[in-house]
Structure 1
Amino acid sequence: MKRFVLLGAAAAVGLVTACTSPFKSEVKTYRHPASTDELITGSRKVLADIGNPQVFNAKTCASFVNKVTDYLYYLPADHFLPKNATEVEQLKSIGPEVMDTVFQIRVALHDKLQEFESRNELSKECILEMREGFQYARFSEEYLLDWLYTNKVFTFKKTPIMVNEKPHTWTNPKFSGFELKSGDVLLIRGKSYVSAMIARISDEEGNFSHLAVVGEDKAGKKYIVEALIQYGVIVTPLEKWRQAEDARVALYRQPDEVLAKKAARFMYDHAKGALDRKKGIRYDFAMNDDDYSDLFCSEVIRMAYDKASGGQFIVPKYRSTVSKFKNTDYPRSLGVTKTSLFSPYDIEVDPRFDFVAEYRFMPLLRQVRMQDAVMQSVYGWMIDKDYTFHWAPQHSVKAYFAKMVRQFGVAKDTLPKYMPVDSIKTNVQFEAVATLLEKNIYEKEKEFYQKKGYLPSFQDMLAINEAYRVADCKKHQEYRKQPMTVDNKPLPDESKFHWFFYNKRKKCE
């Protein structure tokens, strides 16, 4: 699977060019300078191609989307960004329509997913490429959205989650004027590094880290039922929950309203009953959805529809795998031992659910993009460069201290008493590295913007992280070569993380 790359507002025309330039050797050269006009003509063309069964069908699905993402992978970040004042005004003018059209490309792809499934033509290769297509299109939308926001084309105000208006929410035209219904599934991206870790833990990476379901009580009142690490399964009145701040929330709906309502009623009764008995339902750190005694976020959805259907409707249709960390203790150190998971974003390629709408909270999008870039780098170093965490005494103190104070009722809002200490240790380790990388990206982003006039792409952020890793590694190597001064006094180790996160070869390449 290709590395997760954000390539700016280039998605639309890139899709079109990809269909005529499928080879990577061709992609690296461009026939003519990019034009902002091409964004709208290109996006319209690719949307039409997806709707044309002679061009896009079950047999061509994987190759079509793969050509798209291959092309986008190699494009420079600024290829379609305006180069002069005239193009700036053009992009301001056409930007909202490009946003609409690229969103409609995602809607059309999901419709095709359902169509191919209904004819029993949906292949694993098509599903995998669809996942990438959704990711690339979404990141491109958000990069363009950021540009339009910076250039004051769009303004943002704090609104409830899933308010049905732009630029906060883009809606599938089939569900214009939608309201949240019982049994609706909400796919969410949180703002913590734990969220970033979950969003990228599987081989099939995604943009999301959490799932929740709209529950319903006997009186018909709606609630959000979800499993959170710090609390276990909780129940929140719908309108109160909608006041929260999450970077993005996508809405998926089961078309069978009777089944959806049964799932909503079952999950509300099950969760509320446990809370009323003062027992609650613990968070499932093992992410084992074969056992409903404890529940993680995705497992809430699985149990709701499993029990409501008498075992006839099991979610998801297509699961994620976890095999990329073969030579490390991760994710076993988190407590995850299964090689097949219900990752939250698996709902995105479950053709039995309709894609209704997607909400974004602009102030958090930049933060989660950086978190994704940080986690992509850390995971990449673990997989490609054999990096691993070497447990340091100060981390042990932090983890065990956190466990101890939690047992005495402290830190109730951050971790449960039963959270395994190894899980705490792993979170401490990741956060130690991630915080350093994120701080560096924020600093470099300012320099990047001042120099180039646009924000760094995902690819640019990965390069920033890599340069930081190499520099930090070299600092640690220098310390190891000469740990003492001429006065036989210890020198300080100026490296920030290589004293506890490195490969066994201790190489910087």
Structure 2
Amino acid sequence: MFRKNNRKFLGPLIVATMLSGCSTGSNRNPSSEQDVTLAQIIEGIRLTSERQKTDHSICKPAYDSLYQQLFNLAGDTTYFDMNNIEAIDREIKASWNARIALKATFKDFDADPDCLKSATDVFRGLRYVEDYLIEMRVSLMANAPVEYTNLKGEFPYMLVNPKYETEFKSYEDLKSGDVILSRGNAFSSAAIARIGSNDYQFSHLSFVYKNPESQETYTTEAHIEIGSVTAPIMEHVSSKNAREVVFRYEDADVAHRASKYMYDRVLAKQKTKKTIEYDFSMNYKDDERLFCSEVVSSAFKKVLPDADYFPIFKSKFTPGMIPFINTIGVPATKENIGKLDVFSPGDIQFDPRFDLVAEWRNPKKMEENRLKDFILTKIFERMETESYKIDPTFKMDAQSKTFWLLRRLPIVKKFVADKFPLNMSPSQMELFMALDKLGDAIYKEVEKASLEYDRPMTPKEIYVALDNFFKQDFELYKRYKKGQEVTKPSFHLLFHP
């Protein structure tokens, strides 16, 4: 049953949406609280943020309790229709302001990584709350945009920190030293976002440089395909990302000097018709090669040589991910996995030295973006708990070796130079090709399941559907391998224990 003008829908529906970014839905037990609303949860976040300043021992259990209350509500699959735009706007602003306030408390978490993990679960979850509300809000707009421009637009898909509301309206107001955190649209982007022990919603970092004389703005960034490059800001804007966030370092002069150093270094190499190669090892302590986050950390290390490598909080990997990250190029072993850390792009959002200036979304891409998040969460869950691995086909193996060879032949290398870098191995090419094919196959299954509903599937329903797909396809895979089944499984030939 659908109801109008009823704010009570925000409890179960928002919670269900929120949990898509915080849990696989398989390892948490529901709590006894039944009737918690979004407003109460936001108030709980505020009270916890205040209390933990004087009694830090309550931080983790308090945030875990808030999270648990949210999870308890995720089982309600009823969607309520709401056409009160003013009420939706209030909820978007309340969630956004709660995140800004929560981020300000992260400076107190340096000695308690468990507390930080619990707080960031809530932080990322609130972003999913906003995603859904913004999609709904835009659907009610009589003059909603047909197209969206990165880092440009109005409320609700462009949210600006009240601290910066008079000085930041769009990408045109970026300052030298600003950092742009973004999310692409490919399954490889979803994989980068979810690869660490924390599930993030972002896959790329760009460093902004503004020439003080010409006032021209550029980005410096590292791409898997081409290495490190500089480009006018409009090239970044035209990338059509799904979401972007602008962060600003606390010392404007330091940030500008860092961005200028990296811009000059990358441009000098670029002018030789070569680029600094992409660092597949993700080793932020060795900047001979650079990955996207390392563009930022290496630059700040150059300007602040006595400081630790940025950011304050870095990502770690779980043991079950070792085969996957080894193929990518990260030198992880059972012996070093506990100490190995990397600067994942999403880590920047939890460094208290960087202000959250503004956040932009393309409402048309949020649903697809979330589904890819869910799918990668389930893929990595299988790797971690059931020793699944990606097993590229013979065709992919042949293609990757062919492209690797072509990349080295003078006659044809210019035609594939922007697709496969010289330092990408055939096994890495295979992995990315297989990941895209695997993701597409599972995505099609989710689309089929969605046709059975007269409303959008809740995240919990999607997770259940994904678990069912894996179970059914695995049974088909076992029969097919034994010669008992003619029909090929949808994805288990590519991904299996």
TM-score (norm 2): 0.85
| Separation (CA, whole Å) in 2 of partners of 1:313 and 1:386 | 35
Q: Specify whether residues 395 and 130 from structure 1 end up closer, same or farther in structure 2 by C-alpha distance, changes over 3 A only.
A: same
Q: Specify whether residues 415 and 362 from structure 1 end up closer, same or farther in structure 2 by C-alpha distance, changes over 3 A only.
A: farther
TM-fit CA distance, 1:414: 2.5
| Separation (CA, whole Å) in 2 of partners of 1:385 and 1:251 | 38
| Separation (CA, whole Å) in 1 of partners of 2:401 and 2:195 | 25
Q: Specify whether residues 372 and 25 from structure 1 end up closer, same or farther in structure 2 by C-alpha distance, changes over 3 A only.
A: closer
Partner of 2:139: 150
| Separation (CA, whole Å) in 2 of partners of 1:310 and 1:225 | 21
| Separation (CA, whole Å) in 1 of partners of 2:325 and 2:17 | 36
| Separation (CA, whole Å) in 2 of partners of 1:398 and 1:442 | 29
Taking the TM superposition and a 5 Å limit, the aligned residue runs for 1:77-92 are 78=76, 81-82=79-80, 88-90=82-84, 92=85
TM-fit CA distance, 1:291: 1.1
| Separation (CA, whole Å) in 2 of partners of 1:153 and 1:381 | 44
TM-fit CA distance, 1:68: 1.7
Structure 1 letter corresponding to 2:257: K
Taking the TM superposition and a 5 Å limit, the aligned residue runs for 1:32-181 are 38-39=37-38, 41-42=39-40, 45-46=43-44, 48-50=46-48, 52-53=50-51, 58-76=56-74, 78=76, 81-82=79-80, 88-90=82-84, 92-114=85-107, 116=108, 122-152=111-141, 155-163=144-152, 165-177=154-166, 178=168, 179-181=173-175
- Asked if 1:237 is matched to 2:232, the reply is yes
TM-fit CA distance, 1:415: 2.1
> Is the 1:12–1:42 Cα contact (8 Å) retained in structure 2?
no
TM-fit CA distance, 1:435: 1.0
Structure 1 letter corresponding to 2:293: S
| Separation (CA, whole Å) in 2 of partners of 1:51 and 1:389 | 42
Partner of 1:441: 446
Deviations 1:258-314 (A, max 9, x none): 101101211111111111122211111111111111100000000111112234363
Partner of 1:425: 430
2:316 paired residue among 321, 324, 328:
321
Q: Specify whether residues 415 and 13 from structure 1 end up closer, same or farther in structure 2 by C-alpha distance, changes over 3 A only.
A: closer
TM-score (norm 1): 0.83
Q: Specify whether residues 110 and 403 from structure 1 end up closer, same or farther in structure 2 by C-alpha distance, changes over 3 A only.
A: same
Structure 2 letter corresponding to 1:263: A
| Separation (CA, whole Å) in 1 of partners of 2:139 and 2:240 | 20
| Separation (CA, whole Å) in 2 of partners of 1:365 and 1:428 | 24
- Asked if 1:415 is matched to 2:420, the reply is yes
| Separation (CA, whole Å) in 1 of partners of 2:235 and 2:222 | 16
Structure 2 letter corresponding to 1:9: I
- Greater displacement, 217-226 / 137-146: 217-226
Deviations 1:179-209 (A, max 9, x none): 2111011111111111111111111221111
Partner of 1:3: none
1:30 paired residue among 25, 28, 34:
34
| Separation (CA, whole Å) in 2 of partners of 1:122 and 1:165 | 39
| Separation (CA, whole Å) in 1 of partners of 2:137 and 2:54 | 31
- Asked if 1:332 is matched to 2:326, the reply is yes
> Is the 1:77–1:456 Cα contact (8 Å) retained in structure 2?
no
> Is the 1:50–1:56 Cα contact (8 Å) retained in structure 2?
no
Partner of 2:257: 262
2:194 paired residue among 196, 200, 205:
200
Structure 2 letter corresponding to 1:283: Y
Among the aligned pairs, what percent are the same residue?
Answer: 23
Deviations 1:297-338 (A, max 9, x none): 000000111112234363111111112426x52110111114
TM-fit CA distance, 1:24: 4.8
**Which consecutive unaligned segments of at least 5 residues does structure 1 have?**
1-5, 15-22, 484-490, 504-509
Structure 1 letter corresponding to 2:68: D
Tell me how large the CA RMSD over aligned residues is. 2.8
Q: Specify whether residues 26 and 393 from structure 1 end up closer, same or farther in structure 2 by C-alpha distance, changes over 3 A only.
A: closer
| Separation (CA, whole Å) in 1 of partners of 2:143 and 2:14 | 16
- Greater displacement, 62-71 / 72-81: 72-81
TM-fit CA distance, 1:239: 3.5
Q: Specify whether residues 11 and 352 from structure 1 end up closer, same or farther in structure 2 by C-alpha distance, changes over 3 A only.
A: farther
Q: Specify whether residues 351 and 43 from structure 1 end up closer, same or farther in structure 2 by C-alpha distance, changes over 3 A only.
A: same
TM-fit CA distance, 1:79: 5.9
Q: Secondary structure at the match of 1:329?
A: helix
Q: Specify whether residues 266 and 25 from structure 1 end up closer, same or farther in structure 2 by C-alpha distance, changes over 3 A only.
A: closer
